[in-house]
Amino acid sequence: MKKVISGFFFRFFKGIEIWVLLSLMLIASVYINYQLIEYELGFFSEKYSDNYEEHDYYKFSELGVSAHDTYWYCYEPVPNESYERLSIPNTCAPIEPGVFDVALSLNIIVPSVLMMVFIPVFFGRMFSDKTVKNYISCGLSKGMIYIASVIFACIVDTVLYFTGLFAFALVCVLAGWMPPIYLPVALSVILVMLLIMFTMSSVCLAALFISYSERLSLVTGFLMLILMFIPVSAYSYFKVNESYGYDFDSQDEYIQIVKEKGGNVFSSKLDPTELIIRTYYGDKDLKIYGESSLTPGERASALAVVYADPFIAEYIINSNTLPACLLLRDGFMAINAASNVFWIVFFAYTGITFFKRRELPS
C-alpha cells in the first residue's frame, strides 16, 4: 500500500494538478470568506459603526469575555459580568460564534467541488494509461490499490480543507477580527466537515472503480454536490421541527420569569428525537413547545431520513437553524459523524467488492 500511495504522491507533485488546486482554493476561499465576514459583520466597510451614532460596535475580543461564555450566552447561564457585557446593545459578539461556525462549514464547498473533478481525472488515468495493471503485476491486490486510493483522496481532502481555513485566517487578519474560538465546538465542526468530504470522495471513487468511467464518476460527484447544496433531508427536518406547536401559557410563564429573574437563568437542551430546543428554568422544563402533531411512525421515518443524510449538520450550521454548541453537547454532531463513517465504509466496501470482481479494461 505504501508503494501505491508513494506513486500517487509522485504523480501528484509531478503534475500541474496540485498547483491548480491550491491556487483555486486560495482565490475562491479568500473571496467566499471575505463575502461572509463582510455580509454578516461588515468589518471591512465598518458599516455597523455608523448605525449607533458614533458608538463603537464592540467585538468579542474587545469585551473581555471568554469564548465559552460567548457561545453559551442565551443557551446556558454564564457569569453575570459576561452576560452584562454580551447584552450591551452595541455589540456584535453574540452573533460572532455563528459566523465562525458557518465559516468552518462553508470552507468545504470549494474543495468539494474541486475534488469531484480531481478524482475522476487523477484516478481515471490509472485505467487509461494502464498504471493499475502495473500495480497488479507488482503483486499488489485490487483491494490494496482501492484502499490506497481512498486514503490518498482523504489526504488531499484534508490538505484542501485546511488551505481554505488558512484563507479564512488570512481574511480575519485583514478584517482585524479575532473570532471566538471555542475548541470543543470548532474541532467537532472541523471533524464533521472532513468526514463529509471523505464521504463524497468515497462515493466518487466507488463510481469510478466500479464503472471504469471517468464521466460516470464526474456525474456522480456533481450529484453529491447537489445533495450537499440541497439536502434531501431538509423537508424531513422541518417536518419534525415544525410539528411542535407553541404553548402560550408556558410562554407567559417564561416572560414572567424574565421579568423577575432576568434572562441569565435559563438553560437549553436539544433533543435529537425532537429537533427543537427545550428551555429549562433550573430542573423545570417550561414546555414552551407542545406535543408533536406527527404520529410516532411518521416522526421515526422523518428522523431516519434526517440522520441518514451525511450533509444535515453542514446544512443546519450554514442556515444557522440550531447553535453548534447544542448540536455537539446533545449528540446531534455525533450522530451525523457516525452517519458519515457508515457511508464511507459502505461505499469503500462496495467499491472494493465490485472492483475485485470486474476485469480490468483492455
| Alpha carbons 361 and 13: distance in angstroms, whole number | 26
pTM of the predicted protein model: 0.91
Q: Which helix (H) or strand (E) holds 246?
A: strand 244-246
Banded model confidence at residue 328, pLDDT cuts 50, 70, 90: very high
Q: Is the dihedral of CA 34, 36, 37, 41 positive or negative?
A: positive
Among all chains, which residue has been given the C-alpha cell 469510478? 208
pLDDT of residue 59: 86
pLDDT of residue 263: 87
Query: In one letter, which amino acid is 151?
Result: I
Mean pLDDT computed over 177-192: 95
DSSP readout, 313-352? HHHHHHTT-S-HHHHHHTTHHHHHHHHHHHHHHHHHHHHH
Q: Which of 125-134, 166-175, 286-295 has the lowest mean pLDDT?
A: 125-134
- Compute φ and ψ for 332, nearest 5 degrees: -65, -45
Of 16-30, 228-242, 326-340, where does the model show the most confidence? 326-340
292: which strand partners?
Answer: 244
91-147 pLDDT, tens digit per residue, is: 889 999 999 999 999 999 999 998 999 999 888 888 887 778 877 888 788 889 899
249-289 pLDDT, tens digit per residue, is: 777 888 888 888 888 999 999 988 888 899 999 888 888 88
Given strand 266-271, what is the order of strands in its sheet?
Answer: 266-271, 276-281, 284-285
Torsion from C-alpha of 299, 303, 304, 308, nearest 10 degrees? 160
Q: Which of 137-151, 321-335, 337-351 has the lowest mean pLDDT?
A: 137-151
pLDDT of residue 52: 43
Residue pair 239/293 in contact (Cβ under 8 Å)? The answer is: no
- Compute φ and ψ for 331, nearest 5 degrees: 95, -5
| Alpha carbons 247 and 245: distance in angstroms, whole number | 7
209-245 pLDDT, tens digit per residue, is: 999 899 999 999 999 999 998 888 989 998 998 888 8
55 pLDDT exceeds 80?
A: no
In the predicted model, what is the mean pLDDT of the chain?
Answer: 88
Mean pLDDT computed over 305-318: 94
pLDDT of residue 140: 80
8 pLDDT exceeds 80?
A: no
Q: What is the DSSP letter of 66?
A: -
